[in-house]
Amino acid sequence: MTDNNLFWNASIDELKKGYIYDYNKDTYVCLICGKTMENGVIHEYNNQLLTCRKRMEYHIDKDHGGIFNFLISLNKKYTGLTDNQKEILECFYNDMNDKETAKKLSISQSTIRNYRFKLREKEKQAKIFTILMDLTARHSDSNKLVEPHKTATMIDDRYQITKEESEKIIKRYFTEEGGLKDLPSKEKRKIIVLRHIADNFKPNNRYSEKEINRIIKRIYDDYAIIRRYLIEYGFLDRTKDCTYYWVK
């Protein structure tokens, strides 16, 4: 799973590339999976010597199928696109003209032209909305909603969590040493607690069940229930035989 703050705080240009450059660590970071590559290192790939940036571009293209395919496959909660709109955009992305698109999707060319118009209108609305949200955010950082993790099994009112609310819950349920005092029963609080615990696991790392248990047990004695919730709520994934776990 991608670091949500990293992904959602990236600029539009960075999102289009699929990676950012971390000036503090002098590394390139994939916004999809969190993979890092140290700047200045020459990478060998398919009998080619590549710079770090170029290798990251190859990684996004070859390992993730490109940033377009990743973004278009996101949940409708994030894209706001219907299945038909996704199909139309995929055709446009592949340089198909109206006639070719109409034939592939078995609809009329006039319908395609209508989709083009509606999508352009949607683009204009998105620009204005982005500006309005940016201006609003400058006035109230504490009321800013915390982005739900993209692999959440179901996104609903439980995920309407402000930054201030998240900080209060973490302070209430965790000790200064990082231990969990008690597992909350209310869903919204539970999600905040689980997200905080999930931050203890690194993207791209594969953990054995024993390692997972050890990390969780440092935080809460009943590691089995926390491990189960991390899976159920989409923070972690695992192999069918439970041999390995990883950040989803």
Q: Kindly report the three-state secondary structure assignment for every residue of 22-69.
A: ECCCCEEEECCCCCEEECCCCEEECCEEECHHHHHHHHHHHHHCCHHH
Beta strand spans in the chain (E): 19-22, 27-30, 36-38, 43-45, 48-50, 207-208, 236-238, 244-247
Per-residue pLDDT of the chain (248 residues; tens, 9 = 90+): 444 678 888 889 999 999 999 887 889 999 999 899 998 888 888 888 999 999 999 999 999 999 999 999 998 989 999 999 999 999 999 999 999 999 999 999 999 999 999 999 999 999 999 889 888 776 665 555 555 555 554 545 556 777 888 899 999 999 999 999 999 989 889 999 999 999 999 887 899 999 999 999 999 999 999 999 999 988 999 998 999 999 98
SS (H, E, C) 212-228: HHHHHHCCCCCHHHHHH
Give the dihedral sign, CA 190/196/200/201: positive
Q: How far apart are CA 115 and CA 98, in angstroms?
A: 10
pLDDT for the residue numbered 1: 42
End-to-end CA distance of the chain: 4
| pLDDT score of 164 | 84
SS3 96: coil
The number of residues in the chain equals 248
d(CA 232, CA 46): 39
Pick from 185, 183, 189: which is nearest to 227 by CA? 183
161 is written with which tokens?
A: 């969590």
Sign of the torsion formed by the C-alpha atoms of 60, 61, 62 and 64: positive
Q: In the structure encoding, which two tokens stand for residue 190, read together?
A: 């539970």
Model-wide pTM > 0.95:
no
| Whole-number pLDDT of residue 145 | 56
Task: Indicate the CATH number of 75-137 among 2.60.120, 3.40.30, 1.10.10, 1.10.3470.
Answer: 1.10.10
- The domain limits of the chain are 4-70, 75-137, 157-247
Which residue type sits at 97?
A: N
AA letter at 226? I
Which pLDDT value is given to residue 159? Answer: 61
